[in-house]
């Protein structure tokens, strides 16, 4: 009712000018100082991709074998992450893991880092190998054992010391 009264009190010419597409656009684009804070644009802080990349690089460098996965090796949260852990455990290698479900920035960051859209992602000796499907394919072609055997022996020797 109040809006009708306010509009009704304007002359027809002023109404047309006030509600013309260009006038409405001008008002929408204006950043008046007296506009309420709720209506001012809000911008999220830019993602600190450099720190996420540094975190990813540090994780990869720390472990000879590292898996970015959903969940943890003791409690995988998806079948593909579980399968990657089963395969690596079958070869007797110790591996580090990052739970991407606990950090959304790392989850998206690892996908950008490798240009690979799915999780899990497996790294061996700092090199991106692929996901569960690639790991299984390498196992089927007997390509995984020559890659992991030296790491397993190195880890076994270090454990004896």
pLDDT, residue 86, reads 96
Query: Are the C-beta atoms of 87 and 134 separated by less than 8 Å?
Result: no
For residue 1, pLDDT over 80 is answered with: no
Distance CA 25, CA 44 (A): 24
Instruction: Give the homologous superfamily in CATH for domain 49-160.
Output: Glutaredoxin (3.40.30.10)
DSSP-derived 3-state class of residue 122: strand
Q: What is the mean pLDDT of residues 43-64?
A: 78
* More confident site: 16 or 115: 115
The predicted pLDDT at position 57 comes to: 95
- Work out the average pLDDT over 134-153: 95
Please report which residue ranges of 63-131 form alpha helices under DSSP H: 79-90, 104-114
Name the one residue in this structure whose structure tokens are 């644009």.
41
- Residue 150's pLDDT band (boundaries 50, 70, 90)? very high
pLDDT tens profile 69-113: 999 999 999 999 999 999 999 999 999 999 999 999 999 999 999
At residue 22, the pLDDT reads 54
* For the chain, domain boundaries: 2-31, 49-160
Q: Is 56 exposed, middle or buried (0-12, 13-18, 19+ CB in 10 A)?
A: buried
- Quick one: pLDDT at residue 43? 46
- H/E stretch holding 67: strand 65-69
Of the CA atoms within 13 Å of residue 105, those in its CB half-sphere come to 12
H/E run at residue 5:
helix 2-8
| Phi, psi for 74 (deg, rounded to 5) | -80, -20
Instruction: Return mean pLDDT, the chain.
Output: 81
More confident residue, 26 or 138: 138
């Amino acid at each position: 009712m109040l809006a009708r009264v306010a509009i009704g009190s304007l002359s027809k010419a002023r109404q047309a000018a006030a509600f013309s597409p260009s006038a409405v656009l001008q008002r929408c684009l204006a950043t008046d100082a007296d506009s309420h804070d709720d209506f001012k644009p809000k911008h999220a802080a830019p993602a600190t991709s450099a720190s996420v990349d540094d975190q990813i690089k540090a994780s990869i460098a720390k472990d000879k074998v590292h898996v970015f996965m959903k969940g943890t090796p003791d409690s995988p949260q998806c079948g593909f992450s579980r399968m990657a852990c089963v395969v690596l455990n079958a070869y007797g290698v110790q591996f580090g893991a990052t739970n991407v479900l606990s950090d959304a920035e790392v989850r998206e960051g690892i996908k950008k880092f490798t240009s690979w859209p799915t999780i899990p992602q497996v790294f061996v000796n700092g090199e991106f190998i692929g996901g569960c499907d690639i790991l299984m394919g390498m196992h089927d072609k007997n390509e995984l054992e020559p890659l992991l055997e030296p790491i397993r022996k190195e880890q076994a020797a270090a454990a004896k010391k």
